[in-house]
Amino acid sequence: MSLRFGVLGPVEVRRNGRPVPLGSPKQRALLTALLLEPNRVVSIDRLVTAVWDEEPPRSAVANVRTYVNRLRGTLGEGDRLAARPPGYVLTVHAGELDVTEFADALRQGRKALSAGRAEAALRHLSAALTRWRGAPAEDVPRSAALGPRLDALAEQRCLALEAQAEARLMLGEHADAVPELRETVAAHPTRERLWGSLMLALYRTGDSAAALSAYGQARTFLAEELGVEPGPELAELHRSILNRDPALCAVPLLPAPGPSRPAPPQEAGPEAGPEAGPKAAPTPVTGPGSLVSLVGRDLELDELVAAIAASPPRPVAVHGPAGVGKSALALHAVRMAAPDFPGGVLHVDLRSLPRPGAYETLARLLSLLGPAGEQIAPDLDDAVLQFRTATTDRRVLVLLDNVTDEGQLRSLIGACPDCRFVITSRRVLAALDDVDHLPLAPLTDDAAYELLSRLCGRDRLDPEQVRRVARLCDNLPLALRIAGKRLAVRQEWTLAAFADMLADEEHRLDLLTCGDLSVRSALDLDYQALRQCGGTADGSALALFHRLGERGMADCGSATAAGLLGCDRRTAWAALGRLADLRLMKSVAPDHYRMNDLTRLYAMEIARTAGKHESGNSAVLI
């Protein structure tokens, strides 16, 4: 017997290809809550909040058990929906759930797009979008618990549509993309990236008037429906179209800089003085990377740009905790410094590499410089020599994003004196020699207020509630951007109501998820790094992280850690230091470490998950 589960549209279950009845709306809501967390235990308390938006009746737990029994009969496989303290788990196999298939295809499509493989990206993204049959769980009542999760799925669909449009434009399918983009922006008129793709497609087909008209439509809609002006990226595209900027012409995703050569002479304009000479061609920036607006980072940006320009050249490493905005700062800095590097600016996000080792990083850099894959040297030493030869006598700026350890780049940065390197990482890459280290901290209160105000719209400002939301986001740019995006879309939410929702610790991390942006996912990378290491300090650090999560503790010193672990102070010190290395805690004073609130909530989630199988919960489950 085969089962298929569907959430991307009306909730459905198909047994041997035939739909089966799923019962009442509340029973479908319970099934939806289980399908949103397949193969994971969902507590009875969470199922109750998913089913009843209002105050649940006294019989809520009994009703949940009744719904579970009915669903077991519907599924026809008794072991599919099993009781496991403190709730229930629905087993879903590979290829049975449309949400999982969509997420996998979207991830592959975005990875291919970042790597410049537009054809593969379009294939994966189109496959992802075919999984959708309507709005997510559109026949299920939206409770306060289910609503944010379903909104996040709808956001991911929009991200897939935006990425699909980008891939089609990269392939030069401008004329074919126009009708589809018109339909898409009509269905999602608040998505400025979709409007930008439509404008660019129209402009590249030679219809400048239609491109400008599309901007006018976008501006009118945003003003009438959201009370905001188009964002800086859309406004800049509009100005470029008005000026017929040559940069808008279709170009390959990853232009090869080629050998350095003088720019062709240009005629001086009417305002040029007698000494006006030829203008240098713009330096190409190859590889993935998109700019977001920076707020409150002026000092850090100036310091980073100055470090890039310093002589003698030294690599610059920006480090800080998850979600603090390292990549955004580095991208702005290298774009500002680009005119001083005629050999080009190369950007590699190591997180997008299937195996982010030293050789894989070098191979990606070499592919950006032009050689086809089969021309890249097959071993590390030869690849280093090949890259050094390709960049000799050319000033090249290299941004290596999301580095996790020194071994990924030690052989590279020491062997290429004609390259300037900018590195971002979460932990301090202390084992590297002769590197300038630049720490990045969360935003100040005023900067966090300004960023959130820009994102959610100044017409909605309630200063006290803006600052409250910012505090609940720990002033982290990632969390603030997610909160601002959600508020911009959900105009019916007041800032006070959203702050109240964030104040609920059980659902805060769910609310701080928007499409592929997720505070939980960002923290999970650090936690998984800790789990994958096998040293004694890592084992103690992992156990300490769980103990702190079990108790909801944010502050800890060596004495407290030793008590929690049942070990000596030296082992406790090592465990705390390891958590600090991975940015899961921060040293705030001698022998005093602290988690920010979002990390504390994540630790509590992890501890609950880790303790489920050991739970002595005496609740009777059927």
pLDDT digits (tens, 9 = 90+) for 411-446: 888 778 778 999 999 989 988 888 999 999 999 999
Q: What's the pTM value of the predicted model, to 2 decimals? A: 0.57
CATH number, domain of 398, equals 3.40.50.300
CATH number, domain of 140, equals 1.10.10.10
**Shared-domain flag, residues 471 and 529:** no
CATH number, domain of 196, equals 1.25.40.10
Assess if residue 275 is contained within a domain.
Answer: no
Q: At residue 373, does pLDDT exceed 80? A: no
Q: What is the DSSP string of 193-251?
A: HHHHHHHHHHHHTT-HHHHHHHHHHHHHHIIIIIS-PPPHHHHHHHHHHHTT-GGGS--
**Shared-domain flag, residues 311 and 330:** yes
**Residue 277: DSSP 8-state:** -
**Shared-domain flag, residues 121 and 18:** yes
**Shared-domain flag, residues 472 and 566:** no
More confident residue, 292 or 317: 317
pLDDT value, residue 47: 92
**Shared-domain flag, residues 156 and 9:** yes
Cis peptide before 86 (omega within 30 of 0): yes
CATH number, domain of 548, equals 1.10.10
Range of the domain at 419: 285-439
**Shared-domain flag, residues 350 and 417:** yes
**Shared-domain flag, residues 88 and 75:** yes
Q: How far is residue 602 from each of residues 35, 267, 546, 578, 606, measured CA to CA in Å?
A: 21, 60, 10, 17, 6
Give the Cβ contact number of residue 433 at 10 Å: 10
User: Mean per-residue pLDDT for 350-360?
Assistant: 79
Assess if residue 621 is contained within a domain.
Answer: no
Domain boundary among 439, 459, 480: 439
The pLDDT tens digits for 135-152 are 999 989 888 888 888 888
409 vs 433: CA distance, rounded Å? 12
The pLDDT tens digits for 81-110 are 998 888 999 999 988 999 999 999 998 998
Q: At residue 603, does pLDDT exceed 90? A: yes
Q: What is the dihedral of CA 107, 108, 110, 112, to 10 degrees?
A: 160
pLDDT value, residue 524: 87
**CA 129, 130, 135 angle in degrees (round to 5)?**
70
- Residue the block writes with tokens 């240009």: 266
**Shared-domain flag, residues 291 and 413:** yes
104 vs 98: CA distance, rounded Å? 10
**Structural domain tally of the chain?**
5
70 vs 97: CA distance, rounded Å? 20
**Shared-domain flag, residues 79 and 159:** yes
**Shared-domain flag, residues 434 and 552:** no
Assess if residue 376 is contained within a domain.
Answer: yes
- Residue the block writes with tokens 């058990």: 65
pLDDT value, residue 579: 93
